[in-house]
Chains A and B, each alone.
Chain A
Amino acid sequence: MSYEREHDDNCIITSLKKRLADPDCPETFSRREVADLLFIHESLGNRLNRIVKISDGYQYELKHLTSELQQALANVKTLKGFIPICASCKKVRADDGYWRQIEQYICENSDASLSHGLCPDCTSNYFHLASISDEAEEIPASFSIKVSADDLENPVISHYLNIISNKHFNDTPLRADLLRLLEKYILLQRRQLRIARISDKYQAEVKEIKEKFEKEARIDHLTGLSNRRDMFRVMHAEIARINRRGGILSLIMFDFDDFKSINDMHGHEAGDLTLQYCACLLRDVLRCDDTAARWGGEEFMLIQSGTSRDGVFRSAERLRQLIEQSPLYYKGTKIEPTISLGVALYRPGEPLNELLHRVDSSLYGAKKQGKNQVGPLNE
């Protein structure tokens, strides 16, 4: 009902009350007044009905809530006593099976349940007891793999195996999981070591092949002596050593006299054989720290350290005599090769190409003076 309407109703009632209080008021009411009263009566009746209906709704709700509350109160009462919480660490006490009551209550009255894991304190307590105790027993029977001495060399494996084999660990809910975990760890550890071993073998194989190739790259395949490339490496290393520590370094370079005629008369095979034969002779007279190389074609180079001026001439002359006095036979034909030699002594600080130039000039001198001899020392 609107405010205006209510206001109107009150006005009618007030006016009627005023009329009734008046002693001169007529005994009868007009038709209009009765109609107004009837209207007000009907409106009030309707409002009363609505109020009753709303009120019933509220009461029903209230009644329902009251009933639920009573049920809840009854449930709460099943959890007797107080929940014992420590005033210091705030943990719920576990004595007297109290946790069972709590769990039962939670299960019955909610969708939640207790999860039975190990709390960090208990876990560390188990580990502590097992690790300080010497009462380790045999490896558990439920361990599905055989533990070897190699496995026990791993500190992680020996540590945890000791713990789970300990009697203090027997009742731990963690034990079964830890056993499986340790088994997996041991297998992985073995796998890792195996992969490393296999990998090492492949790498060793590769390393050997690499070394073989490197060695082959330094060798002259016809004579088995060092090749020119390797000789350069040796020369650089020797010069660096002499420059650092001092000492004497000498080069002997030799070349077969009239080698072309050997090839022309007996064929290239005989020429190759002559070079191989020379290499054999050379190897026999080399000192362990001398290096000989096939410098190219029928040219050879010999590097010696610690040989004096006279010494290098003596070495070169011995070599000349050795070749001259060692003829070889090819298909029944005697071949008597001779060589001309050049010599040079390294001057400290001298560039390598100058040293090579001097030894080459010495060899040229020997050839020019009639071959089969040692050339002059260009100092």
Chain B
Amino acid sequence: MDSIFFQETKSSPAIAFDSGTGLLEISGESYPENSYEFYKPLLLWISRFCTIFPGTIVFSCRITYLNTGSTKSMMDIFDLFEDRFQRGQEIKVNWFCDIDNDRAIETAEEFMEDVTFPFEIKPLVRADEL
């Protein structure tokens, strides 16, 4: 199965879904004009990938802004993961955010609430800290 690599744009995040390693990375801001159109192929890819990848799928999310449609799509991705996790697939989500910002933590916790697979909130290293 092919990997997916999208460059980051002003309104859409960078995507690096590596079918070889099972490492799925998404980073940047997400407010595309049509979120459903943007996330549709990604959802399709994930749903296929989950059924054939034998190892642990690690989803690393470094998103600093999601519009409403992107939020819904992110939940759809987590629904897919949850379904596969219930069937025995190993899934791990690393959610990177500004851990000094209470609101960012609360947002991450909202996403975490609906899932039972391992979901870790980790500090997002800002560009000025590198």
Q: Interface of A with B (CB < 8 Å)?
A: 191, 194-199, 201-202, 204-206
Contacts and interface: CB of A to CB of B under 8 A. Distances in A.
Given A191-B75, A204-B103, A205-B103, A198 B110 contact: yes
Contacts of B107: 198, 201-202
A197 to B, nearest CB: 6
A195 B104 CA distance: 14
Given A191-B75, A204-B103, A205-B103, A199 B111 contact: no
Contact of B110 (A194, A204, A205, A206): A194
B67 A199 contact: yes
Contacts of A198: 66, 71, 107, 110-111
Given A194-B75, A202-B107, A205-B65, 18 more contacts: A191-B114, A194-B110, A194-B113, A195-B71, A195-B75, A198-B111, A199-B71, A201-B103, A201-B106, A201-B107, A201-B110, A202-B65, A202-B66, A202-B67, A202-B71, A204-B103, A205-B101, A205-B103
Contacts, number: 36
B113 A195 contact: no
Nearest to A208: B103
B40 interface: no
Interface string B65-85: 111100110010000000000
Interface of B: 65-68, 71-72, 75, 101, 103-104, 106-107, 110-111, 113-114
- Which secondary structure dominates chain A's binding surface? helix
Nearest to A204: B103
Contacts of B66: 198-199, 202
18 contacts: A191-B75, A191-B114, A194-B110, A195-B72, A195-B75, A198-B71, A198-B111, A199-B67, A199-B68, A199-B71, A201-B107, A201-B110, A202-B66, A202-B67, A204-B103, A205-B101, A205-B104, A206-B65
Contacts of A201: 103, 106-107, 110
* Nearest 6 interchain pairs by C-beta: A199-B68, A201-B107, A198-B71, A201-B103, A195-B71, A198-B110
A204 B66 CA distance: 12
Contacts of B114: 191, 194
A191 B114 CA distance: 9
A204 B102 CA distance: 12
Nearest to A197: B110
Query: Which of A191, A198, A199 is packed against the most chain B CB atoms within 10 Å?
Result: A198
A202 B97 CA distance: 12
Contacts of A205: 65, 101, 103-104
B126 to A, nearest CB: 14
